[in-house]
């Protein structure tokens, strides 16, 4: 239980960089394919049921949604991806918005890429990884819905994904919004990025996860 996350509340939503809140303080963004479990992960991390709306209809939100923890700290729900049914123009609009946000946002201190543990590292996940790497962002790959797999399969997938992304500043962690597997460790990583006091100690070593402001 991390009381700081419980204070998160809706701040604003923006369909373009122009509408984002002032680029001050620190923020951590959550990306993921539609239906991967991003809203559920945000809700679980913040100990709130209705913070980020969970939906069974993929691709409904095409906005950056900002949640404020305090005046200096925010969590950002990035537009979901998964483009089977959208036009090329919509896909290009998303690519432009995401690449610009990741490259330009000074207050961005970390990127969480939420993936269904049964379908990790899709094309758009890899695209986010490429942009995050280019922006020198610490990243956390959240393998969610881990409650759908047994322990052996969870470890195996974690290891496969770690091998695929290589050593370095990218942390891979199994998670479940339902069973709360990994909740405290993931809160610990995000709390350290946000500079929250009293961050719980992660059970796994934190590899190059913190950086001193200013980031660039
Ligand atoms: N079993 C299980 N289902 C989950 C988990 N997280 C999300 N879901 C379900 O997956 C669906 C999509 O979740 P949502 O959070 O709306 O995904 P988003 O589109 O990425 O924001 C919903 O039906 C959720 O109830 C999880 O950790 N375990
Ligand atoms: Mg969602």
Q: Which ligand is nearest to the CA of 125?
A: 1
Most confident of 10-14, 77-81, 151-155: 151-155
pLDDT digits over 72-92, tens only? 999 999 998 886 677 888 889
Give the number of other Cβ atoms within 10 Å of residue 206's Cβ.
Answer: 17
Q: Which ligand is nearest to the CA of 54?
A: 1
Mean pLDDT of 169-177: 95
Question: What confidence tier does 56 reach under pLDDT thresholds 50, 70, 90?
Answer: low
Q: How far is the CA of 212 from the centre of ligand 2 (A)?
A: 30
pLDDT at 83: 65
pLDDT at 74: 98
Mean pLDDT of 172-189: 97
Question: What confidence tier does 57 reach under pLDDT thresholds 50, 70, 90?
Answer: low
Q: Is the CB of 39 under 6 A from ligand 1?
A: yes
Q: How far is the CA of 63 from the centre of ligand 2 (A)?
A: 11
SS (H, E, C) the chain: CCHHHHCCEEEEEECCHHHCCCCCCEEEEEEEECCCCHHHHHHHHCCCCCCCCCCCCCCCCCCEEEEEEECCEEEEECCCECCCCCCHHHHHHHHHHHHHHHHHCCCEEEEEEEEECCCCCCHHHHHHHHHHHHCCCCEEEEEECHHHCCHHHHHHHHHHHHHHHCCCCEEEEECCCCCCCCHHHHHHHHHHHHCCCCCCCCCCCCCCCCCCCCCC
pLDDT digits over 100-122, tens only? 999 999 999 999 999 999 999 99
pLDDT at 211 > cutoff 50: no
pLDDT at 208 > cutoff 60: no
Domains and CATH numbers, the chain: 3-194 (3.40.50.300)
């Amino acid at each position: 239980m991390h009381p700081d996350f419980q204070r998160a509340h809706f701040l604003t939503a923006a369909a373009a960089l122009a509408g984002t809140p002032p680029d001050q303080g620190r923020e951590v963004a959550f990306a993921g394919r539609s239906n991967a479990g991003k809203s559920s992960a945000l809700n679980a991390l913040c100990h709130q049921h209705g913070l980020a709306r969970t939906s069974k209809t993929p691709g409904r939100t095409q906005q950056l949604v900002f949640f404020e923890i305090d005046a200096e700290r925010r969590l950002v729900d990035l537009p979901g991806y998964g483009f089977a049914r959208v036009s090329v123009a919509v896909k290009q609009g998303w690519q432009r918005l995401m690449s610009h946000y990741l490259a330009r946002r000074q207050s961005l201190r970390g990127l969480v890429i939420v993936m269904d543990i049964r379908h990790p590292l899709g094309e758009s996940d890899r695209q986010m990884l490429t942009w995050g790497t280019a922006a020198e962002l610490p990243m956390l790959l959240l393998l969610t819905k881990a409650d759908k797999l047994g322990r052996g399969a969870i470890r195996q997938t974690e290891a496969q994904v770690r091998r695929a992304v290589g050593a370095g500043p990218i942390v891979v962690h199994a998670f479940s919004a339902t069973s709360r597997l990994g909740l405290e460790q993931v809160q610990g990583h995000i709390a350290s990025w946000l500079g929250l006091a009293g961050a719980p100690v992660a059970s796994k070593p934190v590899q190059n996860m913190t950086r001193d402001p200013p980031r660039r």
